[in-house]
Amino acid sequence: MRSNVREIFINLEIKFDKSWSLFLDRDGVINEKIENNYIKNWSEFSFTYKARESLAILSTFFNKIFIVTNQRGVGKGLMTEKDLILIHKKMLKSIKAKSGRIDNIYYCIDILDSSEFRKPNIGMALKAKTDFPSIDFRKSVMVGDSETDMIFGKTLGMKCFRINSNQILKEMHHFDEKFESFFECSKFIVSRI
């Protein structure tokens, strides 16, 4: 059954252009998520279907592309921040090899949900705005697979696209559209350019 949310969004006739920014969650969007666990090293990292190809295409259309990711595994001591940075370096190298780009990665290793940087709180986005003042959150897209991603984006006035997950989607008002994969989401975005 199709959501009325998509029909409303399409009827807005929004077109994306180079003035827009793209914010991406990492686990479940760019890489396969390990349920109830953390990606602790590169050997556990696996890109989602056509994620790098999607990033290559989207890199030509968006002004800036960011990853905003909660990484509580570091705070819990299951991995080190050095491990996380190494994963990100290898991920970026692999994305670049396929002609994609990520302008910056913002991550939160804090354990407490009250941390200003832990999604759904907006600290990572505000840091991105400080680093890249041209960001206009009203001309930004958030792509994520969780309710916290969607609340993060909606709080800032972004368009929010939810990657389908095994969770029952109870809160229809927190996202503008949902997709089976990041690849399907990227095809929709391209259709609106």
- Per the residue annotation, which of 17, 27, 113, 149 is the catalytic one? 27
Q: Are 104 and 66 in contact (CB under 8 A)?
A: yes
What is the Cα–Cα distance from 17 to 78, expressed in whole angstroms? 40
Nearest to 152 by CA among 69, 47, 51: 69
Tell the residue number behind the tokens 């914010």, with chain if given.
Answer: 23
Which of 25, 145, 149, 176 is the catalytic position?
25
25 is an active site residue = yes
Task: Name the residues annotated as catalytic.
Answer: 25, 27
